[in-house]
Amino acid sequence: MFEMISREMILNSRLIWTMSCLIYMSIGCKSEIKTVDSTKNENSLSILAWNVESGGADPKVIAERLARLDEFDIVCLSEVHPNDFITYQNSRGPDFDTVTSQSGNEDRLQIIYNVKRFELLEKMELSRHGDYILNNGGQRSPTAVRLKDRISGKSLIVMVNHLARGNAEFRRT
């Protein structure tokens, strides 16, 4: 199980930060994560978070766009129909692998990462944190991976979530 760590600054990285994709670095920490817009170099880390809206989007169009967004090392997708997991993974090319959520019925989560850059150390879905229930069985559980960066040797945790958007009552409890 992942140990909880504080938010940390990613130095010399280009990071696309959204509420649906959280990153925590395991070493070299500062008190917060900031978006850093720098020129991509071998030490840069770039992440894309995208709600692909499974019910209203064309998976072929999304896959074409993902293929053109080749500067991203990690892609976090929400509202992915299970039939589209392989299509989105394949759009990134042979150097990418995927971790997918099991919860969420037909609206799931997916993390696609570059296997030449990262080694998968651990994957999990978070249905609860302590006494706080994140998923009562009918929602998407946040999906996370612990990856080891083959360049820096550091490990990081990437999480994608899309918490109960259509269920205001559940979000209040």
Nearest C-alpha neighbor of 27 from the set 58, 46, 56, 6: 6
22: pLDDT strictly greater than 90: no
Domains parsed from the chain with CATH numbers: 21-172 (3.60.10.10)
pLDDT in tens, 102-137: 988 888 999 999 999 999 999 999 888 788 877 777
Provide the 10 A C-beta neighbour count for residue 54. 20
pLDDT in tens, 60-103: 999 999 999 989 999 999 999 999 999 999 999 999 999 999 98
pLDDT value at residue 32: 32
pLDDT in tens, 145-162: 999 999 999 999 999 988
Q: How far apart are CA 60 and CA 84, in angstroms?
A: 9
DSSP result, the chain: -PPP------TT-----BTTEEEEESSS--S----------TT---EEEEE--TTTS-HHHHHHHHHH-TT-SEEEEEEE-GGGHHHHHHHT-TTEEEEE-S-STTSEEEEEEETTTEEEEEEEE-SEETTEES--SSSPPPEEEEEEETTT--EEEEEE----TT-HHHHH-
* Residue 138 banded pLDDT, cuts 50, 70, 90: confident
Task: Judge if pTM exceeds 0.85.
Answer: no
DSSP result, 102-151: S-STTSEEEEEEETTTEEEEEEEE-SEETTEES--SSSPPPEEEEEEETT
37 vs 30, residue with greater confidence: 37
Tell me the two tokens of residue 48: 């894309």
164 vs 98, residue with greater confidence: 98
pLDDT value at residue 167: 62
pLDDT in tens, 31-46: 233 344 546 677 788 9
pLDDT in tens, 43-55: 788 999 999 988 8
Tell me the two tokens of residue 160: 């994608």
Q: Output phi, psi for 48, to 5 deg.
A: -115, 130
Cα atoms found within 13 Å of the Cα of residue 43, Cβ hemisphere only: 9
